[in-house]
């Protein structure tokens, strides 16, 4: 069957779904939704529809990006716009069916936003961040069923592949080069140049690899695309394979992404059935197959040569370059390795042209950037903004600002090997070069927002601990240097640091960057270097005063109960203390904390009713004015010393 016939059939069915008088219900069942209870909501909807004997179409969709409001449900009913509801539970799901589907009551008190302009739903239900975003890679996420290939085709899917097969391979490479598309996995190397080198390198067969080994803490951009719109990645891979002369492709996905693995495998089978993969694709002479390879979760396998070694069945360790992967990669043959987002962009560029792509972004960084907003930000989730958007716009306008009204302190951008940037650089435009100049990096798109309660020394220690444990150990400087830096940071967070340690950290960091073989080692010191650059005073306070200003470093803090605030009849803290460190002084009828038993888990602070607010954290633990520290707590009237 010709592509135009396939497209016509798919669009006909799609129009019937959305233009028919039948209500449509979409439930976001990506990993984020499932973690919040989306499958229970889905079952409640199915049960209610069956109980009411309703004629409704129910589809599972991917991640819309509004992860802060999961589970998400979209209801579409004739006469109404598509309405998105957030924080849906099984009871609310049943009520929405009964009130909206049956009785035309949209239940405005539960509306998160309307997806189209309308006169029925007030304008304040428009998604506030939509005017700042530009969704290209995420446009289908949360709006189509990722397990139905016809949904993707009806939205324009595989048109670019049909167009590309009528072009010469060198024309495709030229168009991608002209678009200035850069690798969105972190390095930012021009994709078209990589393709051109591979195409002209000697050796057959050539290979194409999609890197979906996303290991950054707090990052889930690639996972969301693979779970929500897998065919966009497959289409980009087939086009790239045709352009470079490859016949075989691999998608490398970590096994910790079971839903992504399932949906990608399903998409591969469907693409083969529709002749978008396999022999003589769409009636052409081009043959291309894709295999799914599940990685074992090693962070270092995100590096190109380590990933290739993993596919070959070898230990995931990087190798020296040159030769470059594009010249000598998988099984010693020319190979192109691109990130999920890079390949998902290819169909858009082929369909709309390089000039269209060049209209968005900065001079050297074109297109959009997808970020996973995490940490102390109100609207956590996935966002897609034009390159050049400032960090301030992304965090405060798109992300909604800092949670609980706290003060912004820093943003850790670029994954565990990225940098921690302070408020003074919030007006920095987001692009590859500007971030690198500031000491950070674009990375794959992870972004963790920190507030006044975060200690930057502990944050640097946390991320360095991650990269040190994930080091493959091949390079001496990476293996031993990061361990030495980690030991120094742990000493500082415990109050045992020395001022000369700061110079040692700086020197070690520079040596590790210069002497490491791969990107993991060369960027591992970034959190330490940027916190030393922008938050040096915190290091000095830890060293000189033995104090953690953010009250985060456990060795440097202690918990106390204010006698004048503690309610005599309340035992909330006593009941929640897992180590039984809190007891009641019957003589004075106040509660005290046994400092020798206390593990500083913070449960007493969370348990204390807000109207009392009797539990406090103090630093340093043994230098509190007016306190006489004993094993049974603080023997004094705290109110006088505070």
Q: Residue 622: its pLDDT value, please?
A: 67
Q: What percent of the chain has pLDDT above 70?
A: 95
Q: Does the pLDDT of residue 629 top 60, yes or no?
A: no
Q: Residue 73: its pLDDT value, please?
A: 97
Q: Residue 633: its pLDDT value, please?
A: 43
Q: How confident is the model at residue 308 (pLDDT cuts 50, 70, 90)?
A: very high
Q: Residue 212: its pLDDT value, please?
A: 93
Written as six digits, the tokens of 470 are: 């994930």
- Give the integer Cα–Cα distance in Å for 399 and 516: 36
- Count Cβ neighbours within 10 Å for each residue of 354-375 and write b for 16 or more, e otherwise: beebbebbbeebbbbbbbbbbb
609-625, pLDDT tens digit by residue? 999 999 998 988 765 54
In terms of Cβ atoms closer than 10 Å to its own Cβ (0-12, 13-18, 19+), residue 139 is middle
Written as six digits, the tokens of 552 are: 């985060």
86-131, pLDDT tens digit by residue? 999 999 999 999 999 999 999 989 999 888 877 777 665 667 677 7
Q: Max CA-CA distance within the chain?
A: 91
The predicted model gives 249-253 an average pLDDT of 97
Enclosing H/E stretch for 532: helix 526-534
4-20, pLDDT tens digit by residue? 888 888 888 887 777 77
Q: Residue 640: its pLDDT value, please?
A: 34
Q: What percent of the chain has pLDDT above 90?
A: 71
Q: What is the DSSP letter of 324?
A: P
- The overall pTM is greater than 0.85: yes
Q: Residue 635: its pLDDT value, please?
A: 45
Q: Does the pLDDT of residue 217 top 90, yes or no?
A: no
Q: What is the 3-state secondary structure (H, E, C) of 72-139?
A: CEEEECCCCCCEEECCCCHHHHHHHHHHHHHHCCCCHHHEEEECCCCCCCCHHHECCCCCCCCCCCCC
The predicted model gives 557-579 an average pLDDT of 88
Q: How confident is the model at residue 634 (pLDDT cuts 50, 70, 90)?
A: very low
Q: Residue 132: its pLDDT value, please?
A: 85
Q: How confident is the model at residue 544 (pLDDT cuts 50, 70, 90)?
A: very high
Quote the strand ranges of 419-540, DSSP E.
419-422, 446-451
Q: How confident is the model at residue 642 (pLDDT cuts 50, 70, 90)?
A: very low
Q: Residue 486: its pLDDT value, please?
A: 96
Q: Residue 403: its pLDDT value, please?
A: 95
- Antiparallel, parallel or unpaired: β 629-630 and 633-634: antiparallel
Average predicted confidence (pLDDT) for the chain: 90
The predicted model gives 550-561 an average pLDDT of 92
Q: Does the pLDDT of residue 605 top 50, yes or no?
A: yes
Q: What is the 3-state secondary structure (H, E, C) of 340-392?
A: HHHHHHHHHHHHHCHHHHHCCECCCCECEEEEEEEECECCCEEEEEECCCEHH
Sign of torsion, CA 377 379 382 383? negative
447-498, pLDDT tens digit by residue? 999 999 999 999 999 999 999 998 888 989 999 999 999 999 999 999 999 9
Q: Residue 378: its pLDDT value, please?
A: 94
The predicted model gives 624-635 an average pLDDT of 44
The predicted model gives 509-525 an average pLDDT of 89
Q: Does the pLDDT of residue 641 top 50, yes or no?
A: no
**Under 8 Å between Cβ of 447 and 493:** no
38-72, pLDDT tens digit by residue? 999 999 999 999 999 999 999 999 999 999 999 99
Q: Residue 294: its pLDDT value, please?
A: 96
Q: Counting every residue, how long is the chain?
A: 642
Q: Residue 567: its pLDDT value, please?
A: 81
Q: Does the pLDDT of residue 637 top 70, yes or no?
A: no
- Give the integer Cα–Cα distance in Å for 58 and 17: 11
């Amino acid at each position: 069957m010709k592509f135009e016939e396939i497209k016509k059939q798919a669009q006909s069915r799609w129009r019937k779904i959305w233009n028919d008088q039948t209500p449509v219900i979409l439930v976001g069942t990506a990993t984020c939704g499932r973690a919040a209870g989306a499958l229970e909501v889905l079952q409640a909807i199915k049960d209610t529809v069956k109980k009411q004997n309703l004629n409704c179409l129910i589809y599972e969709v991917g991640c819309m990006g509004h992860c802060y409001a999961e589970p998400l449900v979209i209801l579409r009913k004739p006469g109404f716009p598509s309405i998105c509801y957030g924080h849906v539970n099984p009871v609310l799901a049943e009520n929405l069916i009964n009130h909206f589907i049956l009785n035309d009551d949209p239940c405005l008190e539960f509306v998160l936003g309307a997806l189209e302009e309308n006169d029925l739903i007030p304008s304040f239900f428009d998604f506030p961040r939509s005017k700042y975003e530009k969704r290209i890679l995420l446009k289908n996420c949360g709006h189509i069923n990722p397990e139905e290939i016809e949904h993707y085709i009806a939205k324009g899917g595989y048109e670019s592949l049909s167009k590309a097969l009528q072009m010469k391979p060198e024309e495709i490479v030229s168009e991608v080069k002209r678009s200035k598309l850069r690798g969105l996995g972190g390095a930012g190397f021009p994709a078209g140049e990589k393709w051109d080198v591979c195409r002209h390198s000697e050796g057959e067969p050539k290979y194409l690899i999609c890197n979906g080994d996303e290991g950054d803490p707090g990052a889930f951009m690639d996972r969301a695309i693979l779970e929500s719109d897998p065919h966009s990645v497959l289409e980009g891979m087939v086009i790239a394979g045709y352009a470079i002369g490859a016949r075989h492709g691999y998608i490398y996905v970590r096994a910790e992404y079971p839903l992504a693995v399932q949906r990608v495998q399903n998409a591969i089978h469907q693409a083969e059935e529709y002749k978008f993969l396999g022999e003589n694709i769409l009636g052409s002479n081009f043959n291309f197959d894709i295999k799914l390879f599940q990685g074992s979760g090693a962070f270092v396998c995100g590096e190109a040569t380590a990933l290739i070694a993993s596919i070959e069945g070898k230990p995931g360790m990087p190798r020296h370059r040159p030769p470059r992967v594009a010249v000598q990669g998988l099984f010693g043959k020319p190979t192109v390795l691109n990130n999920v987002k890079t390949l998902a962009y290819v169909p858009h560029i082929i369909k709309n042209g390089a000039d269209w792509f060049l209209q968005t972004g900065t001079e050297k960084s074109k297109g959009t950037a997808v970020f996973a907003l995490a940490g102390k930000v109100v609207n956590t989730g996935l966002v897609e903004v034009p390159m050049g958007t400032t960090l301030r716009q992304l965090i405060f306008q798109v992300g909604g600002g800092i949670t609980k009204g706290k003060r912004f302190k820093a943003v850790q951008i670029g994954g565990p090997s990225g940098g921690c940037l302070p408020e003074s650089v919030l007006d920095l435009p987001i692009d590859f070069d500007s971030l690198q100049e500031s000491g950070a990096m674009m990375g794959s798109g992870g972004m963790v927002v920190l507030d006044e309660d975060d200690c930057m020394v502990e944050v640097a220690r946390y991320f360095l601990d991650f990269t040190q444990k994930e080091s493959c150990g091949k390079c001496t400087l990476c293996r031993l240097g990061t361990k030495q830096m980690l030991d120094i940071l742990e000493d500082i967070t415990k109050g045992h640091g020395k001022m000369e340690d700061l110079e040692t950290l700086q020197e070690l960091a520079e040596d590790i960057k210069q002497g490491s073989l791969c990107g993991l080692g060369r960027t591992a010191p970034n959190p330490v270097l940027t916190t030393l650059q922008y938050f040096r005073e915190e290091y000095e306070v830890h060293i000189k005063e033995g104090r953690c200003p953010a009250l985060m470093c456990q060795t440097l803090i202690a918990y106390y109960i204010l006698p004048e605030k503690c309610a005599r009849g309340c035992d909330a803290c006593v009941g929640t203390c897992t180590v039984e460190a809190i007891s009641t002084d019957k003589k004075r009828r106040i509660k005290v904390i046994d400092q020798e038993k206390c593990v500083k888990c913070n449960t007493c602070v969370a348990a204390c009713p807000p109207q009392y607010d009797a539990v406090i954290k103090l630093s340093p633990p043994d230098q509190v004015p007016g306190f006489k520290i004993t094993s049974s707590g603080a023997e004094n009237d705290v109110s006088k010393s505070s």
